[in-house]
Every structure is written in structure tokens, then in C-alpha cells.
Amino acid sequence: MCSKLLPAARYVIAGDFNMPPEFIKKHDKEGGNYYTIGTCTQKSGQILDYIYCKDKVVDVLEVKSTQGEWISDHKCISGSII
């Protein structure tokens, strides 16, 4: 899934950010993508119920799509599965 994830480490998807990659990049806070509880994660302004933490997340994943390479809107945090 992502070459940056370490074997045997536990990760959890912290959010399915259904917004354009440009929006996500523009709103990533300096020093590493922090999202606090209550961050809107949908174009409609809705909040996914599993955005629970404000921990630092790993770099966004690069994925292949039919439109070429782009930055995924999925973010991960290290830690226990929630």
C-alpha cells in the first residue's frame, strides 16, 4: 500500500479526506499534516466520525489512478487500530 510504512508497525487510516489534493496540500499545517477533532473532511462540510486524534500523520500516499499519479486523500497515523 505504501512503501513508507514499516513492517510490523500498526497503522490506522485517520481520514478519508474527500477533497481535491490541491485543497489538502493547501490546508496541511506546517511541520506535518495535523488534523484536529472536528476537522471537516468532506466536500459537503461533513465530518467523518473517525477523525478522533490530532497526532502527526505520515506523508500522504502517492497512488496510481487512471488519470496518472496523484496524492491520495488517505492519511495514516501510527498507533493502535481504533
> What are the DSSP E strand ranges found in the chain?
11-16, 62-65, 68-71, 74-78
Confidence class of residue 51 from pLDDT cuts 50, 70 and 90? very low
pTM of the predicted model over 0.85 = no
Instruction: Give the residue among 48, 41, 36 at the shortest CA–CA distance from 19.
Output: 41
Q: pLDDT (tens digit, 9 = 90+) per residue, 57-70?
A: 444 444 444 444 44
Residue 12 scores a pLDDT above 60: no
The proportion of the chain whose per-residue pLDDT surpasses 70, expressed as a percent, equals: 0
